[in-house]
Structure 1
Amino acid sequence: MGEGASGRPVNAEAGKALKAAALQLVRANGYDNVSIAAIAKAAGVARQTLYNRWATKADLILEAVFEETHNYAAEPDFDTDKDCRTLLETFLVNVFNHLEIDGDTLRALIAAAQHDSGFQASFHAGFVKPRERMITALLVRAQDTGELPSSRNPETISTLIHGAFWYRLLNRGALNPAFAREIVSNIFD
C-alpha cells in the first residue's frame, strides 16, 4: 500500500470517495462554486486527507475526470476486426458523450490551467497527451493497414482532430455523432 505525504498509509476508499464527491458537486454546482471543504465534507473525510493526495482542487478534479473519461473512451481496442475508421468514429462519439456530462468541468479545468503553470503541465501530461497518443496510435495503425496513406502525418492529423473538438468544446458548439462522422470523413475520404 502506498503512503501519503505524512508517511501514513493511503486509504484507497478515501481517495475514491473524494473523487466521487468532487465530480458530483462540480457537476451539480459548477467548478467555481465548489470548495475543498465541501468536497471533504461530502466525502466524509478531513481536508488534510484530500491534501495528502492532491495539491489543489484542480488536481483532484482532473484525476476524477480523467478516470471518468476511461469509462467512456478508453484506448481503442486494436484486437478487433473493425477498421480504423470505425474505431476512430466510435472513440470520438464516446469522447463527445462524456463531454455532454463533464464539458463544463473540463472547460473550468482549462481555465484553471491558464492561471497556474504547474496545473497546466499536469493537465497536459495527465489528460491531453494520453488522448493525443491514443488517436495518433490509431492513425499509425491506419497507415499500417493501408487505410490511411503513408504520406499523411499521424501526429498532425491528431492535432487537427483535437483542435476541432477543443474549439467546439470551448465555444459550446455541437459535439455529437454527426460531428464525429464529419471529422472521420475528412481524414479517411
Structure 2
Amino acid sequence: MTEKPASGGRPPNEQASAALKAAALRLVSEKGYAKVSIAEIAKAAGVARQTLYNRWNTKADLVLEAMFEETGRYAAEPLDQAGESCRAQLEAFLAQVFTHLSQDGDTVCALIAAAQQDASFRAAFFRRFVRPREEMVTTLLRRAQTQGKLAQDRNPEMLSTFIHGAFWYRLLNGQPVNAGLARDIAAEVFTR
C-alpha cells in the first residue's frame, strides 16, 4: 500500500515511515503478529499513533508493506540473463529468498501463523507477499519452456506450487532453508 495523499499540512516524514516499518518487523518477529498492537509499534518507533494511521489503515497494511519491501531487497524478480541457464536463474533466485528467510524467518513464520487465525489477513498476506513470488517463479519456468529448457508437458504453475511448498514446509518445521536446498530444488525441476 502506498502512503495516503496529503490533505494539507506537513508532508509525510520518510524517517517516521522507516522507523514504523522497522519496529513492526522487529516486534512481530519477537512476539508474533497477534501479540503486537498498533500502540506498541508506534511507541517502539518513537512516533504518535496518528502518524501510523496517516500512512496505513491497519496493522496488517503496515506489516505487509514492511515485509514486502524487506523481501524485495533480497529477492528481486529473476531476469532473463543472457548466457545464464534458467536452472541457474531459478537457483540464484531461490538462494536469495532463502538468505532472506534465514535472517527473517521468524517474522515470516509469525505472519503465517497470523494468517491461519485471521481470514482477511490471510488474503492480504497471500495477495501482497506469497502470490508475487509465486508469479516470479512461474514466469521464469514459462520462459524456460519457451526456450525448450523445460518440457512442454510440465505445468509451470504446479511446479511453482511444489517449489514454494517445499521451502515453506522446511521453514515451518525448522529445517535448513539454504543454498543447498535452492540447488536441489532447481536440479529437480530441470531434471529431464
Question: Normalising by structure 2, what TM-score?
Answer: 0.87
Q: 2:119 aligns with which of 111, 117, 120?
A: 117
Deviations 1:37-72 (A, max 9, x none): 232123222112213333433332221111111111
**Secondary structure at the counterpart of residue 69 of structure 1:** helix
Matched, 1:30 2:31: yes
8 Å CA contact 1:73–1:91 kept in 2: the answer is yes
Structure 1 counterpart of 2:182, one-letter code: A
**Secondary structure at the counterpart of residue 84 of structure 2:** coil
Deviations 1:137-180 (A, max 9, x none): 00001111111011111001001001101111111111011111
Structure 1 partner of 2:89: 87
Q: 2:46 aligns with which of 44, 61, 74?
A: 44
Matched, 1:62 2:64: yes
How big is the shift at 1:17? 2.2
8 Å CA contact 1:58–1:109 kept in 2: the answer is no
Structure 2 counterpart of 1:67, one-letter code: E
Question: Normalising by structure 1, what TM-score?
Answer: 0.89
Structure 1 counterpart of 2:38, one-letter code: I
Give the aligned length: 186
Structure 2 partner of 1:74: 76
Structure 2 partner of 1:11: 12
Identical-residue share of aligned pairs (%): 59
Structure 2 counterpart of 1:134, one-letter code: M
8 Å CA contact 1:114–1:120 kept in 2: the answer is yes
1:26 to 1:114, Cα distance in 2 relative to 1, 3 A: closer
Cα distance in 2 between the residues matched to 1:124 and 1:81: 33
User: Structure 2 regions of 5+ residues with no counterpart?
Assistant: none
Matched, 1:138 2:130: no
Cα distance in 1 between the residues matched to 2:117 and 2:176: 27
User: Structure 1 regions of 5+ residues with no counterpart?
Assistant: none
Cα distance in 1 between the residues matched to 2:43 and 2:36: 11
Q: What is the root-mean-square deviation of aligned Cα atoms in Å?
A: 2.0
**Secondary structure at the counterpart of residue 63 of structure 2:** helix
1:38 to 1:160, Cα distance in 2 relative to 1, 3 A: same
Cα distance in 1 between the residues matched to 2:110 and 2:41: 16
